[in-house]
Structure 1
Amino acid sequence: MINIRDIKKALGWEYKVTKPEFSLDKEIYSQFKHFRLPLILLQLIMIIGTMGYMIIDDFTLLDALFQTGITFTTVGFGEVKEISQPGRLFTITLIIFGFLIFTLSITTVIQVLARGKFLDLYKERNMLYKIARLRNHFVIFNHNEYSIQLAEQFKRNHIPFIIVDPRDDIEQIAHKYNYPYFIKEETYTEKAFLKTHLSSAKGVISLSKNISDSITIIASVRLYEKELGRKNPYLIICNAESQKDIERLKKLGANKVVAPPELMAKRVSAMAIRPDMENVLEEFLYKKDTPIDMEEIYIKDDSWFIDQEIKDAHLRDKLKVSIIGITEANGNFLQTPKSSTKVRKGCKLLVVGNQAGIARAKLLVNDTIRPDYIDSMNKKDKFYV
């Protein structure tokens, strides 16, 4: 028998909804408690009205219920059948209480909407569902002038990110600077980690001007990382103002620490000393949709490429990717290695090429099995020689 679900899956029509790790359902449901009294009074007046018509004018259950409904809502349909004088007095009383309950209900709705909490919770819930679909994103803690510039770079390079900041006007800030995802929460709390779907993130970035905030974030993220039992540690990037702070943050667990004054000084120095090289970097490395990219490739322990020469992979011929540097396991950097240089265990390759070629190179050099095309290309090289 043909299964419709299997057909949808084969055609790619099936969409899997990922639920957020932090649920706001309890907070949203708590907003409905304000409607309890009006609903109870509504049910009570319907019961009293139905029983009253049945007792006073001997209505059937359905006629009494219908008469109560049209009387309570004051739609003006008239009487289902002739009502006695006591029944009309009862109807007037029913109309008055119905009007009071209706007024109470409208007032309650206006109060709930005027407070804005219900709408804010609903908006945040929608945001959490959007964030739950992200994978390998970055969580940026704290909004400031650094996050504004960083967000622009991430958007140009199509890197997903979330801004986390506890300030009350973060929604207005997000709209102003076009942050696609944002969360109003204290940066170092577990609630912030759950709301940002940190378990699926690639890393976190702390852009606080206060080093104590960065220290707290690093410690909290590393502890959360251990609780999850992640195989791949988070990439943690922080900013600092002095060399002393840089060393402290690295010792605590930050992978990279950027000093804005030092970084600016290096860029200005490069512009002054080698202006042409700086123009090349601006054109190819920092530009949107650049044809050339530069990246480090870590060689895994079970890679076939270990103890092989660089030329054995034929990266330049096959993928238009060149190895321009090797960082060895002991930290030594080998600049512009020769084609006969052997790749050792635990090293990192600094490669240059287009993004698609580098992505394929990562898979190729870290495969456990030697690719089949290598032997055929080696034969061609021997033939031409």
Structure 2
Amino acid sequence: MRSYLYVISKIYIPLLLFAGSILSGVVGYVVIENYSWLDALYMTSITVSTVGFTEVHPLSSTGRVFTIFLILFNISIFTYFITVVSRFVFDGEFIQSYKAFKMKEALNEIRDHVIVCGFGRNGREAASVLYRNKIPFVVVEMNADKFENADFPLTHRMIADATKDEILLEAGIDRARSLICAMPNDADNVFVVLTARDLNRKITIISRASDYTSVRKLKIAGANNVIMPDTIGGAHMAMLTLMPDVKEFIDLLSTQMSDNFQIAELIVDKNVSLVDLDAWRTTGATVLGVKTIAGDYILNPAPAVQLHTGDRLILMGALEQIRDVSKKIGVL
């Protein structure tokens, strides 16, 4: 139903003109020829449709002049209507507008998603990982050409400027779990981070940076993490020369997730020690590390490590195993 209303909204002007013509014709025949309302509507209908039926009653000279103008006016309206519809359909405007309408409907429905700002090399790779791990996401990119030749479907995308508040709101910033700023310009990333943090105080924000001086600015603006792709790329290459198989295995762990294998982060909601939790024996999940509420990491933690409310437990295991641990100590 909403789709039909949307199509009508695109041609409402000729429709209003047509309705106005019908109303004018009815009122004109009632006033000029003293027709009844039914006769006036019938006379207007056969005049507008140019079917050539005989008049209901003989017309006066004034009535004939009025009929001539009514016919000419409706021919103009019909021509205008055909022009609008033809341009709307055959020039591709209808398809593009309808796609935009359906995309807006889809954006209104999405929840707990990730917003990716920028679809260059970094943004495309981030979206690809999200897609492979079945995490809903919205891509915001000004250049429509960058969406071409994507090797995965983009069910939620916006050709728009992510630095504008209304665009982030349309992308569902108030309902999103995370935002990734992957635009090439550091100044744009700072602006988006600042805007996103103002619109959603709880959202997790990850931004890229090209310059070391931008890292501090992005964190002050509200970014939880700042990534420098060039630095990480160099470190990645160095690690591949030292431990190629280990590095590839770690990359596989972090990007190829399924129901049979997940690396997850749980927020602890009660005090408990790892030995009492005994995750491996009771659920089969493996504890990789702990991030304390103070922000410190404990890698390969010993059984005696005490978990406190607000700490984050990093686990590896099947989705069902991780859910079992979540029932004991916290939420995903």
- Taking structure 2 as the reference length, the TM-score comes to 0.82
**Structure 1 match to 2:20:** 40
What are the equivalent positions in structure 2 for 1:137-148 lying under 5 Å apart? 137-148=113-124
**Structure 1 match to 2:245:** 276
1:208 and 2:183 matched: yes
Q: CA deviation at 1:333?
A: 3.2
Q: Which amino acid aligns with 2:235?
A: K
1:197 and 2:172 matched: yes
1:261 and 2:261 matched: no
Q: Which amino acid aligns with 2:245?
A: D
**Structure 1 match to 2:290:** 326
Measure the CA separation in 2 of the matches of 1:315 and 1:253: 34
Measure the CA separation in 1 of the matches of 2:37 and 2:264: 78
Measure the CA separation in 1 of the matches of 2:221 and 2:62: 81
Measure the CA separation in 2 of the matches of 1:152 and 1:356: 24
Indicate if the aligned counterparts of 1:283 and 1:290 stay in contact, CA closer than 8 A: no
Q: Which amino acid aligns with 2:24?
A: L
Measure the CA separation in 2 of the matches of 1:152 and 1:70: 61
Indicate if the aligned counterparts of 2:27 and 2:40 stay in contact, CA closer than 8 A: no
CA distance 1:271–1:97, shift in 2 (3 Å): closer
**Structure 1 match to 2:133:** 157
Measure the CA separation in 2 of the matches of 1:151 and 1:263: 18
1:65 and 2:41 matched: yes
Indicate if the aligned counterparts of 2:11 and 2:85 stay in contact, CA closer than 8 A: no
Q: CA deviation at 1:80?
A: 6.0
**Structure 1 match to 2:205:** 236
Q: CA deviation at 1:225?
A: 2.4
Measure the CA separation in 2 of the matches of 1:248 and 1:86: 81
Measure the CA separation in 1 of the matches of 2:292 and 2:167: 37
CA distance 1:79–1:341, shift in 2 (3 Å): same
Q: Secondary structure at the match of 1:285?
A: helix
**Structure 1 match to 2:195:** 220
Q: Secondary structure at the match of 1:200?
A: coil
Q: Spell out, residue by residue over 1:294-330, the C-alpha distance to the aligned partner (whole angstroms, 9 max, x if none).
A: 2333323xx1xx1x33121231122211223233344
Q: May I ask how many residue pairs the two structures share in their alignment?
A: 324
CA distance 1:49–1:113, shift in 2 (3 Å): farther
**Structure 2 match to 1:312:** 276
Measure the CA separation in 2 of the matches of 1:39 and 1:88: 20
Q: Secondary structure at the match of 1:197?
A: coil
Measure the CA separation in 2 of the matches of 1:350 and 1:361: 11
Measure the CA separation in 1 of the matches of 2:63 and 2:218: 81
CA distance 1:346–1:107, shift in 2 (3 Å): closer
Q: Secondary structure at the match of 2:124?
A: helix
Q: Spell out, residue by residue over 1:32-66, the C-alpha distance to the aligned partner (whole angstroms, 9 max, x if none).
A: 356544442342134324555x44xxx65433421
Measure the CA separation in 1 of the matches of 2:258 and 2:265: 19
Q: CA RMSD in A?
A: 3.5
Indicate if the aligned counterparts of 2:17 and 2:77 stay in contact, CA closer than 8 A: no
1:248 and 2:217 matched: yes
Q: 1:187 is matched with which residue: 152, 162, 179?
A: 162
Q: CA deviation at 1:127?
A: 1.7
Q: CA deviation at 1:288?
A: 4.9
Q: CA deviation at 1:191?
A: 0.7
Q: 1:338 is matched with which residue: 302, 306, 314?
A: 302
Indicate if the aligned counterparts of 1:326 and 1:348 stay in contact, CA closer than 8 A: yes
Structure 2: give runs of 5+ residues left out of the alignment. Answer: none
**Structure 2 match to 1:135:** 111
What are the equivalent positions in structure 2 for 1:69-88 lying under 5 Å apart? 69-76=45-52, 78-79=53-54, 83=58
Q: Secondary structure at the match of 1:199?
A: coil
Indicate if the aligned counterparts of 1:63 and 1:80 stay in contact, CA closer than 8 A: no
Percentage identity across paired residues of the two chains:
19
Measure the CA separation in 1 of the matches of 2:74 and 2:156: 45
1:359 and 2:323 matched: yes
With 261-270 and 202-211 compared, the bigger mean Cα shift is at 261-270
